[in-house]
């Protein structure tokens, strides 16, 4: 594939609904949870929809579970599916033909709602019990900055000063 270059297709301008959150692999979990909690608790939204594709699916499930543990009485419906994505590749060298590669990508949609959802749906989960939910402010720290991550690994140090031959210190 080093002899090909991917052709960027223009994306369709589909507006995102205000209560829809699209999870990506690059996004931080903390930011998604904070935004979802803001929608549910402060902006008065009754429902949020988390959507993801491919590698972001496991992150989406984790985010949904964490939100359910911070906001009380959330009903959940999960639906899974798949879609085909076609990538176009054009050759960088003469004599090669353009390629069209189709990928089959999994996707998930998690709907969290304060109102009761369709209980007969196969992906329905009832709200958690009250003792399993801790309000959002109990998770907040006291404002202290996080300590920087330790960068030292195992071993006897290494990368110290280099000793010359005969240096016995």
In this structure, is residue 13 part of a structural domain? no
Determine the average pLDDT of the residues in 131-148: 60
Task: Specify the residue for token string 């110290």.
Answer: 160
In this structure, is residue 146 part of a structural domain? no
Burial zone of 73 (CB within 10 Å; 0-12 exposed, 13-18 middle, 19+ buried):
middle
Give the pLDDT confidence score for residue 117 in this predicted structure: 86
Give the pLDDT confidence score for residue 31 in this predicted structure: 94
In this structure, is residue 39 part of a structural domain? yes
In this structure, is residue 55 part of a structural domain? yes
Q: Where are the beta strands (DSSP E) in the chain?
A: 4-7, 20-22, 47-53, 75-91, 99-113, 124-125
17-21, 56-60, 142-146, 159-163, range with the lowest pLDDT? 142-146
Give the pLDDT confidence score for residue 139 in this predicted structure: 46
Q: In whole angstroms, what is the distance from residue 135 CA to residue 42 CA?
A: 13
Q: In whole angstroms, what is the distance from residue 16 CA to residue 21 CA?
A: 8
State pLDDT tens for residues 63-85.
999 999 988 889 999 999 999 99
In this structure, is residue 12 part of a structural domain? no
In this structure, is residue 145 part of a structural domain? no
In this structure, is residue 43 part of a structural domain? yes
State pLDDT tens for residues 3-49.
889 988 887 778 888 899 999 999 999 999 999 999 998 888 899 99
In this structure, is residue 48 part of a structural domain? yes
> Containing domain of residue 29, as a range?
18-128
User: For residues 107 and 18, which has the higher predicted lDDT (pLDDT)?
Assistant: 107
Give the pLDDT confidence score for residue 131 in this predicted structure: 80
Domain count, the chain: 1
Give the pLDDT confidence score for residue 142 in this predicted structure: 45
Give the pLDDT confidence score for residue 143 in this predicted structure: 47
- Residue 166: band (very low, low, confident or very high) from pLDDT cuts 50, 70, 90: low
What CATH number does the domain containing 44 carry?
3.30.110.20
Average pLDDT, the chain: 84
Q: Which long-range contacts (CB under 8 A, 24 or more apart) does 99-105 make?
A: 99/4, 105/53, 105/54
Angle between helices 29-37 and 57-70 (to 10 degrees): 40
State pLDDT tens for residues 141-151.
444 455 556 66
């Amino acid at each position: 594939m080093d002899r090909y270059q991917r052709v960027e297709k223009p994306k369709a301008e589909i507006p995102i609904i205000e209560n829809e959150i699209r999870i990506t692999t690059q996004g931080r979990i903390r930011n998604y949870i904070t935004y979802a909690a803001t929608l549910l608790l402060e902006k008065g939204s009754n429902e949020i929809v988390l959507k993801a594709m491919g590698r972001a699916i496991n992150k989406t499930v984790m985010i949904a579970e964490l939100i359910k543990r911070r906001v009380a009485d959330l009903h959940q419906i999960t639906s899974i599916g798949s879609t085909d994505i076609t990538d176009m590749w054009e050759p960088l060298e003469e004599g090669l033909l353009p390629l069209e590669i189709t990928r089959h990508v999994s996707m998930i949609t998690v709907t969290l709602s304060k109102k009761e959802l369709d209980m007969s749906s196969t992906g329905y989960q009832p709200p958690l019990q009250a003792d399993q939910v801790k309000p959002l402010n109990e998770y907040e720290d006291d404002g202290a900055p996080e300590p920087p991550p330790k960068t030292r690994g195992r071993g006897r140090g290494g990368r110290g000063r280099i000793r010359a031959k005969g240096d016995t210190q």
